[in-house]
Amino acid sequence: MASRHIITLLSDFGTQDIYVAAMKGTIARVNPDLQLIDLTHQIPAQNIAAGRFCLLSAYPYFPVNTVHVAVVDPGVGSRRRAVAVQFPEGFVVAPDNGLISGILTLSPVLAAVELTNSNYWRVPDPSLTFHGRDIFAPVGAHLASGVPLADLGESINPASLVELPISQYQETTTGIEGYIQYIDRFGNLVTNIPAAAVENQQQWSLLVGRQSLSHGYTYADTQPGSIVALVGSHGWVEIAVNRGSARSLLRLNYGDPVQIAFR
Amino acid sequence: MASRHIITLLSDFGTQDIYVAAMKGTIARVNPDLQLIDLTHQIPAQNIAAGRFCLLSAYPYFPVNTVHVAVVDPGVGSRRRAVAVQFPEGFVVAPDNGLISGILTLSPVLAAVELTNSNYWRVPDPSLTFHGRDIFAPVGAHLASGVPLADLGESINPASLVELPISQYQETTTGIEGYIQYIDRFGNLVTNIPAAAVENQQQWSLLVGRQSLSHGYTYADTQPGSIVALVGSHGWVEIAVNRGSARSLLRLNYGDPVQIAFR
Amino acid sequence: MASRHIITLLSDFGTQDIYVAAMKGTIARVNPDLQLIDLTHQIPAQNIAAGRFCLLSAYPYFPVNTVHVAVVDPGVGSRRRAVAVQFPEGFVVAPDNGLISGILTLSPVLAAVELTNSNYWRVPDPSLTFHGRDIFAPVGAHLASGVPLADLGESINPASLVELPISQYQETTTGIEGYIQYIDRFGNLVTNIPAAAVENQQQWSLLVGRQSLSHGYTYADTQPGSIVALVGSHGWVEIAVNRGSARSLLRLNYGDPVQIAFR
């Protein structure tokens, strides 16, 4: 229990408005002693794929039994389910729209429920437009305070959780085909090709558009302004520019294809 | 007392500089065990009306006896008063420039003081330009730590607290006249017409410029890109665009008029 | 020890990605009871001088024995050292690239070590691109939890810590020559001329480009839109515009020269 009192928040609400604060106040009303940590609230509006990537990328670093409340929810008010899922490394409370699907590819589900028990909501009659405040935040706070998962609603089949149509990377006879799955603040381009896919290769280069990028190990390996492909800190093959933006230099965006060529 | 150890911060300082951090450090020096929660620091610079709206919108979600420190303070260094006000739902520590006036319209004042007791300031001779750090933050920290309100300074008449000239919505023979009082990050346009003003109407539409918008219940009620008027999560009539920005689509701004027509 | 459980974070990682969250999760794994406070994560990318200024400006406001983890680290993965330094007012854990050099000019060093003991890292084989998560955050968490500085690595000579080539202001026969060392969110221009250099002068004015600015005491001293030179809340001579941006009005940037003329 000692490590269970951390609750994280991820959303596309930004930090300009008080949407996030309303969630935090609601959590504090349930239990003022929980430790609140923001994952990010800068997910591009309603971009479930970006939310999925950020949630997937952050959760391994937190203590076991941390509760992650994730709200990127374009279908709020429609019939999409609200769920809580228990993984070995912690809990996720979120709309069932694919946000959780990144973690699903890496971790077994220990248990999953639909959030049907309104006793743990902020109010029995929640807002049609803000389930983050009225359902996800208070449910997460109760869960982080020791309420059993099974009390939050009816058990559901983990296989029924929504998957996103994010295509996997493909191995070919000469290398790997993948694509850009995330772009960070520095303009680093994160592909969907994991470190494991290249770590046994003596030599590889990354092809993007008409360019062939040799691979390096650190940003400092290269001259300022030059482009390098490397296994980034997220654990994926990334394209980076020492002291610059790969996004701007290569004019690439989410979903653009990349290829790795082995030698 | 159990729920009194939360202190929130609202300002127009942004998060780029260390102004907010200086306030938090000052609070931690008074009492490192307080729980710090940001409402927002992205209030447009010196926009008291926007700060008023955000403070009003966030405070109902927090535990009773939370201390809210709010600093949007274009008159810092001039003769405007620094005050602390006790409401049934919590305390506000702020410049007396209208920031509190939104809460004043909704809640009775239990007590109010001018912050004249420099024993609770960071230093007896505060900066002329940064009362957030030198007066509001430490006073808020002492208040959240159990110092009685009356010790912070001289009692003042609640009726003397500064009101903002924010006009009220008007009921007409055919509907309601109001205006845009806030614009959130998604570009949703928040009017000053409360839910209560329309909830007994069978049918209503919202007129803005030359457009008549029918009312819906959720963003998902409409096709992506279409405009809907609804009672938003803040509790006011809002104009929203499913997966888009009403601000951009309608080219509206703070203060622009809107009308509701009953049928 | 009571006040030692605060750990602050400063970086150029921004708040869009989960880099900061990964650091916070790592800290929480070491000790979930530490209080996390952000100084800022909006340092311009790889701008060591701006990071130096913000760290220098924030640390005096925190409780003694606070641990400040600062990561602006363009040389990550190269041979630059990772260090922890003890000052009378607290600890700094950072790359040895000049980030700490502002504090060095003001405070004596009580002890300094290179972070060579990998027992306190997140993993013995850290990422080549993200020492913030793998070295600085966990080391800071251990330090804030009571691990002695000397256990973190080998003692180093404080005189060997990297200084930045930030030139000092110069006193001349008629005044002072300095430059813009920081620009805040409001567009206030912070010079490198400290309050102490002007506080005994009866009259002074500030020359910038072809303009001569008289000095004031508060933003409210002037008409909206007019320019004033004053000793700002940071403790340096600043150029500000009441309800406006000095940066935009004067078209000045980092490093631009200013002069003070005494009378």
Q: How far is CA B119 from the centre of its chain?
A: 28
Candidates B6, B12, B62, B223: best to mutate against A (most CBs of A within 10 A) is B62
Same domain, yes or no: A102 and A221 = no
Rounded Cα–Cα distance for residues A156 and C236 (Å): 61
In contact, B66 and B90? CB cutoff 8 Å: yes
In contact, B225 and B243? CB cutoff 8 Å: yes
CB contact under 8 Å between B63 and A29, yes or no, is yes
CB contact under 8 Å between C130 and A233, yes or no, is yes
Please name the member of B59, B63, B233 whose beta carbon is closest to the beta carbon of A28: B63
CB contact under 8 Å between B42 and A16, yes or no, is yes
The strand pairing partners of C191, in sequence order, are: C180
Choose among C71, C112, C62, C55: nearest CA to C89. Answer: C62
Q: Is residue B204 part of a domain?
A: yes
Same domain, yes or no: A195 and A142 = no
The chain C residues in contact with chain B (CB within 8 A) are 2-3, 5-6, 8, 15, 35, 37-42, 54, 57-59, 61-63, 66, 184-186, 217-221, 230, 232-233, 243
Helix (H, G, I), strand (E, B) or coil at B193: strand
pLDDT (tens digit per residue) in C85-94: 999 999 999 9
Q: Is residue B165 part of a domain?
A: no
Same domain, yes or no: A133 and A202 = no
Q: Is residue B175 part of a domain?
A: yes
Choose among A54, A55, A261, A92: nearest CA to A175. Answer: A261
For residue C220, the model assigns a pLDDT of 64
What does residue C247 show for φ and ψ, rounded to 5 degrees? -60, -45
Cα radius of gyration rounded to whole Å, chain A: 20
For residue A95, the model assigns a pLDDT of 98
What does residue B159 show for φ and ψ, rounded to 5 degrees? -65, -15
For residue A220, the model assigns a pLDDT of 63
B-C contacts at Cβ under 8 angstroms:
91
Q: Is residue A1 part of a domain?
A: no
Can you read off the two tokens belonging to residue C209?
Answer: 């480009």
CB contact under 8 Å between A74 and B41, yes or no, is no
The chain C residues in contact with chain A (CB within 8 A) are 13-19, 21-22, 24-26, 28-29, 32, 36, 45-46, 74-78, 127-130, 133
For residue B4, the model assigns a pLDDT of 45
Full domain range(s) for residue C231: 170-262
pTM over the 0.80 mark: yes
Other Cβ atoms less than 10 A from the Cβ of B245: the count is 17
Å between B216 CA and nearest CA of chain C: 32
Burial of residue B235 (CB within 10 Å: 0-12, 13-18, 19+) is middle
In contact, B35 and B64? CB cutoff 8 Å: no
In contact, C191 and C236? CB cutoff 8 Å: yes
Q: Please, what sign has the CA dihedral across residues C42, C45, C50, C52?
A: positive
Given a cut of 70, the residues of chain B with pLDDT beneath it are 1-4, 165-167, 218-221
* Closest CA in chain C for residue B29: C63
The chain B residues in contact with chain A (CB within 8 A) are 2-3, 5-6, 8, 15, 35, 37-42, 54, 57-63, 66, 184-186, 217-221, 230, 232-233, 243
CB contact under 8 Å between B129 and C232, yes or no, is yes
β-pair type (C170-171, B236-241): unpaired
Q: Please, what sign has the CA dihedral across residues A184, A188, A189, A193?
A: negative
Helix (H, G, I), strand (E, B) or coil at A247: helix
Same domain, yes or no: C38 and C87 = yes
What does residue C106 show for φ and ψ, rounded to 5 degrees? -110, -25
CB contact under 8 Å between C25 and A61, yes or no, is yes
Q: Compute the C-alpha angle A189/A195/A201, nearest 5°.
A: 115
Last residue of a domain, one of C141, C160, C179: C160
* Closest CA in chain B for residue C55: B18
CA distances from A219 to A99, A224, A232, C42 (A): 31, 9, 10, 20
For residue B225, the model assigns a pLDDT of 82
Other Cβ atoms less than 10 A from the Cβ of C137: the count is 30
Alpha helices in C121-198 (DSSP H): 131, 137-144
Helix (H, G, I), strand (E, B) or coil at B207: strand
Last residue of a domain, one of B104, B132, B160: B160
Rounded Cα–Cα distance for residues C191 and C193 (Å): 5
Choose among C205, C200, C257: nearest CA to C230. Answer: C205
Q: Which residues of C touch B28 (CB under 8 A)?
A: 3, 6, 35, 37, 62-63, 66
Same domain, yes or no: B156 and B102 = yes
Rounded Cα–Cα distance for residues A68 and A56 (Å): 11
Touching subunits of A (3+ CB pairs, under 8 Å) are: B, C
Helix (H, G, I), strand (E, B) or coil at A66: strand
Q: What CATH number is associated with residue A47? A: 3.40.50.10790
Same domain, yes or no: A124 and A10 = yes
| Total domain count, chain B | 2
Same domain, yes or no: A140 and A184 = no
pLDDT along chain C (263 residues), means of 10: 75 95 97 96 89 94 96 88 96 96 92 98 90 97 97 97 80 91 87 89 85 76 82 87 88 88 87
Same domain, yes or no: B47 and B106 = yes
What does each of the 263 residues of chain A score in pLDDT, given as a tens digit?
344 489 999 999 999 999 999 999 999 999 999 999 999 999 988 889 899 999 999 999 999 999 999 999 988 878 899 999 999 999 999 999 999 998 998 899 999 999 999 999 999 999 888 999 999 999 999 999 999 999 999 999 999 999 876 667 889 998 999 988 888 888 899 998 998 898 888 788 999 878 888 887 766 667 778 888 988 878 899 998 887 899 999 999 888 899 999 87
Q: Is residue A65 part of a domain?
A: yes
A-B contacts at Cβ under 8 angstroms:
92
Å between C35 CA and nearest CA of chain A: 9
CA atoms within 13 A of residue A244's CA, in its CB half-sphere: 16
Same domain, yes or no: A129 and A67 = yes
For residue C2, the model assigns a pLDDT of 46
Same domain, yes or no: A156 and A63 = yes
Q: Is residue C165 part of a domain?
A: no
- Non-local CB neighbours of C63 within 8 Å, separated by 6+ positions: B25, B28, B29, B32, C3, C6, C90
* Closest CA in chain A for residue B15: A15
pLDDT (tens digit per residue) in C54-112: 999 999 999 999 999 999 998 887 889 999 999 999 999 999 999 999 899 889 999 99
Last residue of a domain, one of A160, A193, A222: A160
Please name the member of B15, B77, B128 whose beta carbon is closest to the beta carbon of C42: B15
Same domain, yes or no: B62 and B151 = yes
* Closest CA in chain A for residue B13: A16
Q: What CATH number is associated with residue A221? A: 2.40.30.90
Q: Is residue B1 part of a domain?
A: no
pLDDT (tens digit per residue) in C6-16: 999 999 999 99
For residue B1, the model assigns a pLDDT of 37
For residue A105, the model assigns a pLDDT of 85
Same domain, yes or no: A211 and A123 = no
Rounded Cα–Cα distance for residues A50 and A72 (Å): 9
Choose among A128, A133, A12, A45: nearest CA to B215. Answer: A128
Please name the member of B3, B35, B58 whose beta carbon is closest to the beta carbon of A22: B58
Q: Is residue C249 part of a domain?
A: yes
